Structure formats: structure tokens, C-alpha cells
Structure 1
Amino acid sequence: MDLVIRNARVLLDGDIRPVDIGIAGSAIAVIASHLDADARAIDAEGCLVVPGMIETHIHLDKTCILDRCRIEEGTVAEAVRETARAKRSFTVEDIYARARTTLERGISHGTMRMRTHVELDPGIGMIGFEAISQLARDYAWAVDLELCVFPQEGLTNNPGTEELLIEGLRRGARTIGAAPYFDSDPRAQIDRIFAIARDFDAEIDMHLDLADSADGMQIEYVCRKTEEYGWGGRVAVGHVTQMSLLSRKRFAAIATEVANAGVAVTVLPSTDLHLMGRSHDHAIPRGVVPVEPLRQAGVTCSISTNNVLNPFTPYGDGSLIRIANLYANVCHVSRPGDLAGCLDMITTSAARLMRLDDYGIREGGPADLVCLDAGSAAEVISALAQPLWGIKRGRPSFTRPRPVLHVPVN
């Protein structure tokens, strides 16, 4: 035994239990109520210890560019336009430096797995891919970083983009994305993405149905394609803000269809709150899909950050707990079980979305652990619990000491 985590509270078989966790090398060797072991020890002090948090949907390549862009309309179209303009001056070194800033913030908040979307098109070529690939190698000690290549500015209407997506998959990306609402032929883009994914045995993670009205939704078409290709469990869709505008009956019908097809859903509350409802002057729709009904229908769901400090989302500190708390506020989440579900959507459910079979606190599992300053899963979300420390593959990855109040002495 190399390390023992003492006095931890861990969610096991649906219950919070006080345990000691013994670590040997990079794996969890034993979980017991008490361990007698002559090894270095860390006292969790009764705090909740969870597996490393998972960012399922983020854009590291275009983070931290607010100083290069204008936000006057706050619309999706403006965000794409301003980012496309800024991309013309991107370099490998520039992308790496900005992405590193955001990645390190995420690590310090307990993120240990991450899927980042990387834009490929004739304008930027493979520059973003090269920068983020290098970042993944350099920070493998703290985070497992997966690349998802995708066509932000269109596919069928942007010649040369498909070849770059294929190049990215050939060079190691295991996921392909999409943004059909920016294509002149949305369904043709969806068709091509499924075909390419089949050719490369790749996962699919789409930006989908990001709009202020329910017109032109593609979620049902994506479900049909998922079933046609036998890709159930391997397709995720992010945003789907249009679903937030549906009647309860229509929502329930689509939720059943999504569950049956095996399509996962990622909610991106910070971005969707910023971008949606810009065309309304009252009763403004917020665009954040309530996922509790989806989860009850059997849909795998995650909550994620999406963008940080750019025209799509001019906010962000890398904290998934903050994003989950934001979602809870917007969607009226208050019952303890539902609050605990928010933590699940940035841990275990997120791992299921990414098809991670080496995840979770169990004997023989990876020693990827985060200690949270809370006693329960619900408290993590309701009180914005601070991550205190993290262990990645058995070695420390970050520490965030508790604040100290300097009470005056009379």
C-alpha cells in the first residue's frame, strides 16, 4: 500500500459510507471501514470523496478570446462570426497558452476527464488539433483529455472541411462532432457525420437544436439515424434548447424516443442562458432543458461548461460544480435526490456518456479521487462545495486549502 485516504465519506451502493481507501500504485487496492496499513495517509476529515469530475463538452481551442471579440448582439450568429474572425490570427502557441489557462483552472476544480471539441475547417486547418493534442500529452498527469473534431462553420457548405475531419480521426481523435444548424443542409451534415463515424468506429457528439423556437428540430432525425446505424450509446447531443420550448406531452414523447435510441444529452446552462431569448422583449425563454424528466425516461445526461470567456459564453472559472449549481437554480432543482443527480451528471452519468469503463470508486479501479468540502452529494451542489484536493492515478494533482478567517483577538 502506498497511500491511505482516511475518514472519507464515499457513495457506495446508493448510500454514503465512512471508509478508508487504500491505494497501491495508480489503483484503488482496498476500501474498508478501517485500514491498518503502514503507508502515507491523507485525512479526508469526514468530507465526501468522489471520482474525478468529468467535463463532457468544452471548447479549449477558442477559450479566453474576449479581448479579441465584440459582443453587441449576444446571438449565436454573432458569436460564430466574431470567433471566425478571431480564428484567422490563431497559432499553435496561442491556442496552447489559452487552452492551458482554462485546463489548469478545471484541474484545480476537480476535473480529471475531459472531452474538448476542436474546430477543423479550411480557414484554421489542423492548428487547433495540433495545439490541443500537445496539451493532452503535457497534462496527462492530471487529466485525460479526449479530442472531438467538428465543423463549427458548416460541412456540406464548406468544401475541404470533411477531409480535415477525417484527418483528425486518422490522427487519433476518437469522437466526431457536428453543428448542423450552421449548415445549408442540416440533415446532409448529420448523414455525413454518421457515415464518417461508422467508417472510423468513432463516437458522435453533436451540437444540436440551438434556437429560440421549436421550428426545424433535428433531435428525432438524429434518433432515427442512431437506430439505423446501430450507434445507440455512442451518440450525444448538446444544447437542444428547442426542447425547453415544448409542451409537457411533446417533451415526454421525445424523451422516450431519445432513451430508446440510446442518445445521450448534455446541458450547457451558461452558454444557453447567455445566447437564448435575444429576440424576445418579455417572457424571455432561457433555453436550458430540464433533464430530470429525461433521466426518469432513461436518458443518460451530463452537465458541462461548453465555452469559457469568449463570445459564446463570456464567463467561466472551470468549476463544474458551479455550472451544476447554475443548472439547479435555473431548473428549480431542490429535492435532495435531484440535487444529488446534478453531481451524478458531472461524475458517473458523464462517464457513462463517454463510455468510460475504468471509472468509479471501487477496488481495482483507478485512483482518481477528489475530496469535496461537503458531507453529502446534495450539499455539494446546494452549497457550491469547494474541492480540497485531488489524486490522479495515485499521485496528488491539486490542493485547494480551506479559507481561514482571521478573527480579531480582544
Structure 2
Amino acid sequence: MVDLLIRNANLPDGREGMDIAVTNGLITAVEHDIPAEAGNVIEADRCLVTPPFVDPHFHMDATLSLGLPRMNVSGTLLEGISLWGELRPMLTRDAVAERALKYCDLAVSQGLLAIRSHVDVSDPKLITVEALLEVREKVAPYIDLQLVAFPQDGYYRCPEAADALTRALDMGVDVVGGIPHFERTMEEGRKSVETLCRIAAERGLRVDMHCDESDDPMSRHVETLAAETMRHGLQGRVVGSHLTSMHSMDNYYVSKLIPLMAEAQLHAIPNPLINIMLQGRHDTYPKRRGMTRVRELMAAGINVALGHDCVMDPWYSMGSGDMLEVAHMAVHVAQMSSMEDRRKLFDAVTVNSARAMGLEGYGLEPGCNADMVILQARDPLEALRLKATRLAVIKRGKLIARTLPRVASLNLAGRPETVDPASYAPGAGDE
């Protein structure tokens, strides 16, 4: 007897018609035709069952604050930072927590069950930290929420950031963050990377740094981040987020930089939706799109994950919590259209992101946590193409969200009565 049995599931690795057995919140078997009785049976009907989506880069303290106190008229990163500075004195703990919890509801409906959120620690009152620590506790039964102490206004540039960051870590924030390219000088940017990596090493914490989110090819703090990672023995525990300046760097320098990043075992997290929206704003034509070199980083063996970054906040007026939308955009911007490329980008919002966050028990093998999403698609490529409906979302073996299949009714003489988007793939319906 098992608690849950999912029958006839397709898996991201290409296995088809598999059964998944769950007991006590863990996957106990993944096989064909499991001969077991179950308290609950879900028929997948050859739909794709995947581990949950993971967003390794988000700003939950700002989410759903669009229009407060005004709109970002220029659409630039710098106006967004300025606008956040205007909003910050108006924030209350309850309002930040309520918006974050509302976003978490949306995330669950999208099968997004692990999020790493940067939390601004530039204000010494630490209202955002208090709010998101409360949210982390409340959503723990259904979302794995990591928090990053993020000095939005610069670790050295903001006089109160150093003390506030220390207090945030003492309060239980999980990860050390930074923003070296926003410091006043390149030298202070370098110093901030050195200091923040040292703090992380002393506390045994991970590092996730907004790094070189700029069109300036001379913004090269990721080089220092890689060097400091190795100096402090932090290999595999450090993320360089955004890395948009790599889009504009000359190829010779990049030929040195990428092997250095690989040696340091850095994780890279571009944010396709936001990077292409905010970068290149000072260009006329040709206009740079600003996303980092995803294909080249992957080819060098660097773990590349994709983040959503923002949803309806001072930097981005759109967004839906849909990590398939993020990967779908990456397919286009990175021009990664082959079958192999698209599978890699599906991994970038699932297994790669889980690896960047250091999540334990993630996957679809026996012994893993029974966290899964059933999609209205047959395989990862179809899921990406359709941004497939989440038919069922399961956390520790319990169904926590369900969406009806997307099927349209037609009234056309001589044509089918219904249209299922998944039926239009080449070979769909063929045995």
C-alpha cells in the first residue's frame, strides 16, 4: 500500500508510461506498472511529470508593487532603483508580507515550489527582512524559500548597509548578496566582492551576487568573484547573477573569463525577461539585448540556471510567475532552438536552478521528495513551446493545486469539436 500512485507518466529524461509511487512524502519507486494499491491514484495519461519549477533569482520584497508610488517612465534599471528608493520609506511589514504571500499563491499555481529571493538591506529598519522571514515560515509547507541579504544601494555606497547586512544574517537570512557594479568606483566594487565573500566563508554561507548588470564591457567584477570564490574555498556555493556585461565584452577577454568561472565552479543566473527589457536602453541601432552568453557558459560546463527576477514591480511591469515563460524567452534571445538546446533550457528552470540553490532531495528518483508537476504536454520541448498548463501540483505527495486542461470547443462544420494545443505536435496521436 502506498500513499499516492501516479500512473502512465512521461518523464523529462524521455522515459514514457512510467508509474511513480509515493509514501510518507518521498518517492519510493519509478517503474512501469507498479503492482501496488494506493490511497490516491492520479492518471497522468502520458502527460509530462517533472520536478517542480525553481526560481533561483527573484525580488519578493518588491513584487506586486507596480505603480507605487509611481511608474518607471524610462523603463531603465537606474530609474527602477531610484523608484524603489522612493517606495522604501513607505513600506510596512504587513504590506510587504501580504504582497509576497499573494505572489506565493500564484507561484504554487504555476508549479513553482522553490524560490531564492533577494531582500534589500539598505534600510537599517530591515522591514523587508522581517516581512520575508515571516513569509518564509508561513510558506514552508509548500515553498522552499531562500533569502539573500542584498545591499541594493551598494555595500560601501550606502553608509548603513554593512551593519544592516550583518544584522540580517544574524536574523537568519540564508545567503550573502552584493551589487559591486553599483558601488561608486570599480575599486569599491572589487572591495565589496572581497569583503562579502569573506563574510560568507566565515559564516559558512552561500553567495549570490548581482554581478555586472550593465552594458559596460569593462564591468568585470565576475572575475574578482571567481578569484575570491577560490581564495575562500567556496567552489560550487557562489552564484553570479545577471552577468549582462558579458554580452558586450570582447571575445578574447571572455576566452579567459569563462574558464576562470568554470575553475571556480560558479553558477550563472541570467534573467531573460528582465535582462532584455532593461539592457541596451542607451543604444539606438543596432540595439544590444543584454543577456549573457548562455550557450558558451553551458558549453564550458558551468551550471546555468534561469531566474524570473521581477513580477509587476519598479523594474518590470509584466510577469506571471511562469518559469516556462522565462525559458521560452531564453530560447529566442539566446537563439537556442535545437532540440538539445531546448532540453537544456528546460533543465535551466528545473534541475540546474535546484543545483544553484543547493536544494536537497530534488528530483524524480526513489528517495527524492515527492514534489512534482503534471503538465499538459508530452515532453519538455512541448511544455516549452506551449508554456503548458499545470494540471496538478504535488508537494510531499499531496495535491496542492490543480488546473483544468486547456481545451477549446469549436463550432465548425466538418471539423473537430475540440482543440487541445498538445495534439498539434508532429506525430501527436501516433502510436
Give the superposition deviation at 1:29.
1.2
Tell whether the 8 Å contact from 2:62 to 2:314 is kept in structure 1 after alignment.
no
Relative distance call for 1:92 and 1:9 in structure 2 (3 A) is same
Q: How does 1:186-197 map to 2 (within 5 A)?
A: 186-197=189-200
The code of the aligned residue for 1:261 comes to: A
Distance in 1 of aligned mates of 2:322 and 2:392 = 14
User: Kindly tell me: are residues 187 and 409 of structure 1, through their superposed partners in 2, closer, same or farther at Cα, counting changes over 3 Å?
Assistant: closer
* 1:111 Cα offset (Å): 0.7
- Per-residue deviation, residues 75-121 of structure 1 (Å, max 9, x unmatched): 22111100110111000111011112222212111111111111112
The reply to whether residue 239 of structure 1 matches residue 242 of structure 2 is: yes
CA distance in 2, matches of 1:244, 1:16: 37
For 2:276 and 2:329, how far apart are their aligned partners in 1? Answer: 10
Measured after TM superposition, the shift of residue 267 of structure 1 is 0.8
Q: Where does residue 280 of structure 1 map in the other structure?
A: 283
Partners of 1:24 and 1:97 in 2: how far apart? 34
Equivalent residue for 1:120?
121
- Between the aligned partners of 1:168 and 1:66, the Cα distance in structure 2 is 26
Report the counterpart of residue 23 of structure 2 in structure 1: 24
Report 1:101-250 matches (<5 A).
101-122=102-123, 125-184=125-184, 185-250=188-253
CA contact (8 A) 2:48 2:376 kept: yes
Deviation, structure 1 residue 282: 1.2
Change (3 A) 1:78 1:258: same
Q: Secondary structure at the match of 1:220?
A: helix
Aligned AA for 1:113? A
The Cα shift of 1:228 comes to: 0.8
Hey, which bits of structure 1, 4+ residues long, moved more than 6 A? none
Tell me which moved more, 161-170 or 57-66: 161-170
Shift of 1:331: 1.3
Question: In the alignment, is the contact (CA less than 8 A) between 1:102 and 1:317 conserved in 2?
Answer: no
1:372 alignment counterpart:
375
Structure 1: 5+ residue runs without aligned partners? none
Residue matched to 2:55: 55
**1:1-25 deviation per Cα after TM superposition (whole angstroms, max 9, x unaligned):** 11100011113xx443321001112
The residue aligned with 1:291 is 294
Quick check: 1:33 aligned with 2:36? no
Aligned partners of 1:178 and 1:189 also within 8 Å: yes
- Cα distance in structure 2, aligned partners of 1:380 and 1:81: 37
Tell me how far 1:387 sits from its aligned partner. 1.7
* Cα deviation code 1:264-299 (max 9, x no counterpart): 100111111111111111111110113121111010
Task: Write out per-residue CA displacement over residues 102-156 of structure 1, whole angstroms, 9 at most, x where no aligned residue.
Answer: 2221211111111111111235x22111111111221222211111111001111
Q: How many residues align?
A: 407
Letter in 2 for 1:78: E
**What is the CA deviation profile of residues 301-356 of structure 1, one whole-angstrom value per residue up to 9, with x for unaligned ones?**
10110111122112110000001101111111111111011110111111111122
Is the Cα–Cα contact under 8 Å of residues 16 and 376 in structure 1 kept in the other structure? no
Q: Is contact 2:218–2:249 with CA below 8 Å preserved after alignment?
A: no
**What is the TM-score when the length of structure 1 is the normalising length?**
0.96
2:346 is the counterpart of 1:343: yes
Deviation at 1:182, TM superposition (A): 1.7
RMSD of aligned C-alpha atoms?
1.5
Is contact 2:375-2:388 (8 Å) kept? Answer: yes
Query: Residues of 2 paired with 1:313 and 1:290: CA distance?
Result: 22
CA distance in 1 between partners of 2:103 and 2:208 (Å)? 21
Is the 8 Å Cα contact of residues 60 and 103 (structure 1) preserved in structure 2? no
Contact 2:55 2:323 in 1 (8 A): yes
Change (3 A) 1:307 1:409: closer
Q: Which amino acid aligns with 1:103?
A: C
Residue type of the alignment partner of 1:256 = P
SS at match of 1:334: coil
Aligned twin of 2:255: 252
Structure 2 distance, partners of 1:106, 1:190, is 32
Shift of 1:409: 8.7
- For residues 122 and 345 of structure 1, the distance between their equivalents in structure 2, rounded to whole angstroms, comes to 33
Native 8 Å contact 1:169 1:200 kept in 2: no
Residue pair 1:241, 1:289 contacting (<8 A) in 2 also:
yes
Offset, 1:67: 1.6
Of 249-258 and 170-179, more deviation after overlay is shown by: 249-258
Q: Distance in 2 between matches of 1:351 and 1:278?
A: 32
Indicate the residue corresponding to 2:304 in structure 1: 301
Gaps of 5+ in 2: 414-431
